[in-house]
Structure 1
Amino acid sequence: MPNLMTNVQPPLQFLPPDFQPGVLKFTQWIVPWWIRLKTPITQIDAENVEQLVELYQKFQQEKIRFLLAFRHPNPDDPLPISQLIWRKVPGQARKQNITLKSPVHAHFMYDRGIPLWAGNYVTWLFPKLGGTSILRGKLDRKGLKSARNLFANGRFPMAAAPEGATNGLNYQVSPLEPGIAQLGFWCVEDLEKAQRCEDVFIVPLGIQYHYLQENWQALAQVLGQIETDCGLTNNNSQPTPSALYPRLVNLGNYLLDLMENFYRQYYHQPIPKNTNEELPIRLQRLLDIALQVAESYFAIQPKGSLTERCRRLEQTGWDYIYREDIKDAESLSPVERGLANRIAEEASLRMWHMRLVESFVAVSGKYVQENPTFDRFAQITIIIWTMIMRLKGGNPNRTPYLGKQRVEITVGEPISVSQRWSDYKTNRRQAVENLTQQLQSSLEKMSQPQSKPDK
């Protein structure tokens, strides 16, 4: 998450792809070291890689175009996915005696906001790796045009996260944005206009994180720290699921009471008191109200899902901070600049409410109760920890260490976009909706615990 902005900024510029093979080679060398030193990931497994090898072979033979639509539960997702593409696909191709042209790589779409919190080096690196930026909360014509061109004409296949943002959960897929399906149909349209015969596919890519050991003691310590931060009594119960779950529920109820009072008292929201409503109902109402508080400031009408509302708020806030109407802040008079800075700071403060909601958009309130495994406990605990850090004004990106992790990537069955072209020509909106729903179903199927058990 970007830090609080107190000064007006120049407008966010589109970052066009500028692929550099030398940069790719260096990145391919350094990423395994980065994973080892900077993440808890120690093992990356992949299923159905043979299918991805076949897809790359057909792509290089100019028979197909495809986009990898990957699940996005964790900010680290690009790292294991890079190892799937750069290492496991070429390795599997050699086993199958299939020759793939080097480099095996993928263009990718990324949120223009990532360099704002990841660092300036990302502003330089991602374009050099063939990435193209996109503004998620508005019609980004330059970004869409670039992504559309790469899908139809790029040197490599495409990769993108249809959820649009991380949700922190292995087994819960956020509602997908329709942009990926629309890009697929645009690719078919562009190929048809160019009288090219490649088939177009969207390939679902599942990804899950599993702790190698169930470190309940470490989890109990994180819960204890959260309880201390909240002023709650830590009963030092045994670090077992049956003992920790009541503490997790108690913590959830306390935070709901706290935040309901916060919005009731200081933002004058009509939240009922002392109800017997279940936690999931209260949580969803609180998320809705937090967004309304920010939307009322920006004069935005609540519309769409929580995720869609978050994206719209984010973009509007950026419009207040990264001013299109101010090309050179230095040319402003001191008074004008002071007012512009005040607007930027106020917008940044209002976006704080959206950031809180962003962390909880996929939380149902029953995620642990449905299957109280260590992985689920850890995921919800880290989401709560992130919220506490935002409330304290700390750094929510430095999550607590709960042990080494194994990443499991699953290559799903390709979904043909070309076969749906006639449906698209008949009813574009419905065709995009149907394709998005099929992709949602595919990702959800790969995310089910019975097919990917906790370990």
Structure 2
Amino acid sequence: MTVVFERPYQFVPPYRGRLWPWLIQRLRLYDRYLKRKEGVVDYELRGTEHLRQSLDAQHGILLAPNHCRYADPLVMGWPARQLGIHVHAMASWHLFNEGRFDRFALRRMGAFSIFREGNDRQSLEAAIEILVEGRRPLIIFPEGTTNRTNDQLKPLLDGVAFIARTAAKRRAKLHADPSKTADDGSGNVVVHPVAIKYLCLEKIDRWATTQLDRFEQRLGWKRMPPRDIRQRTVRLAEALLALKEIQYLGHCGAGDLPSRRDALIEHLLTSTEAEMQLDKPSADVRERVRLIRSTASSRYFENGADPATATALKRHVQAADIAQDLSSYPDSYLMADQVTDTRIVETIQRMQETVNGHADHTIPLKAVIEFAPAIQVDTKRPPKGQPDPLMQTLGQELTTRLARLATEARKL
């Protein structure tokens, strides 16, 4: 997720028309894009009858998928096409700044912007209104950002519950108003957990060997002893961590990989917070990264930053982004008794994005999209300090389904 420094944030509202979404579905444009840009060439839908039941009941529907790849928003177009519906989706502001065509296409497919570096009341209000109207399902990724770990769910953001619960309250008021008709928002507000799992359609040995060879050659590693793909991937991850340690610490760290990763993350965030004179908001890496990014963005546009200040702010954001990227490498993900072909592919592609800014997507993938039964949204908020039952249920459903889907990948 990129902080946009080229221009200040301007809300991009949802496109309400039907012609463009219908045309995009008819011409299968996202099928072509997914194949060319993301390597996703096939899909399988499961549990769509649960979504159909909510559509027939005229509920306000919030679809809450896990978010492990940039392809996720577009693969959600496949169930929409099969069910003959259109959707809206909340999308990060930076995606609307990739170019005029991207901005045009995103809007016509139903996306609207969210400014993750600040409090975006317009975006929240648009999301709530979509659920109140109930004309189209709304897609929100509750993890917030892409994590590249398909088998492990990151902590969910509470904003999903706020949006759903606020919409449920407004719908309840509409039901109580005798002057309103069924078209003014009949049914309830429900959340459907959606588990997305990507499976490799062919053996990864040739693809992985080619990608690892290129990495090792860039590092000057030649005539290496025989090792399997898992060992090579782990060693390269360790090498890239060592390079970042030397860059920011001046030396390689000591200890196992998780402790070294955590030490570098803490150094990056603590030193950046000190330079920006920010108090540590919490122990959560994402909250600390968000504060750094939002402060950098506001200072850049509020003060008309001079070149030196602008350079420093961009450097602070880069350090925060590296910390967040490091936090996406989970413990034990590539343990010998747990590793699968999809985990190897994810890790290699994540390293490629870190080093090259983009990943190789020539390995063909199949997306499995599984819908869970609806979770009805209660209008009452949980007591202060207590876990939100809506978010707990959502997290449990996604975790359980992803764990089961993970078993469909090939073991190495």
TM-score norm. by structure 2 comes to 0.88
* SS of residue paired to 1:180: helix
Query: How high is the sequence identity, in percent, across the aligned residues?
Result: 21
What's 2:48 paired with? 49
Partner of 2:285: 306
Correspondence for 2:236 among 222, 230, 251: 251
Match of residue 38 from structure 2: 39
Q: Deviations over 1:324-383 (max 9, x none)?
A: 566xxxxxxxxxxxx534333332222112222333323223101151221111111111
Describe how 1:156-171 pairs up with structure 2 within 5 A.
156-171=136-151
Out of 323, 342, 350, the position equivalent to 2:308 is 342
SS of match in other structure, 1:194: helix
Contact in 2 for aligned 1:20/1:129 (Cα 8 Å): no
Could you report, residue by residue, the CA deviation over 1:390-423 in whole angstroms, capped at 9, with x for unpaired residues?
Answer: xxxxxx13x11352111111101221213xx34x
Aligned residue number for residue 334 of structure 1: none
Q: For each residue in 1:101-143, what CA deviation from the matched residue of structure 2 results, as whole angstroms up to 9, or x when unmatched? A: xxx1112111112223x32323333334433211123221222
Aligned with residue 367 of structure 2, among 396, 407, 423: 407
Deviations 1:208-259 (A, max 9, x none): 1111111212212211222222333451636xxxx22222232233333332
Cα shift readout 1:264-313 (whole Å, capped 9, x = no counterpart): 23xxxxx8x763x2211211221222223333333222334222222232
Q: What residue number does 1:373 align with?
A: 340
Task: Name the aligned partner's letter for residue 409 of structure 2.
Answer: D
Partner of 1:108: 89
Q: Which residue of 2 aligns with 1:237?
A: 226
1:353 to 2:319 alignment? yes
**Number of the residue aligned with 1:220:** 209
- Write the distance in 2 (CA, Å) between the matches of 1:387 and 1:454: 25
Change (3 A) 1:22 1:340: farther
- Matched residue, 2:107: 127
Aligned length: 397
For 2:196 and 2:334, the matched residues in 1 are separated by 19
Residues 19 and 129 in structure 1, CA contact (< 8 A), matched pair in contact too: no
CA distance in 1, matches of 2:214, 2:163: 45
Q: Aligned letter for 2:297?
A: W
In 2: Cα distance, 1:324 partner to 1:154 partner: 38
Give the Cα–Cα distance (whole angstroms) in 2 for the partners of residues 403 and 198 of structure 1.
43
Aligned to 2:198: 209
Match of 2:181 in 1: none
Distance across 2 between alignment mates of 1:400 and 1:36: 12
CA distance in 1 between partners of 2:339 and 2:223 (Å): 21
* Residue ranges of structure 2 left out of the alignment (5+ in a row): 177-185
Counterpart Cα distance in 2 of 1:143 and 1:410: 27
Root mean square deviation of aligned Cα = 2.5
Report the counterpart of residue 392 of structure 1 in structure 2: none
SS in 1 for 2:342: helix
* Alignment equivalent of 1:195, drawn from 164, 175, 181: 175
The 1-side partners of 2:18 and 2:266 are apart by 46
Distance of 1:55 and 1:350 partners within structure 2: 45
Alignment-mate amino acid for residue 349 of structure 2 = I
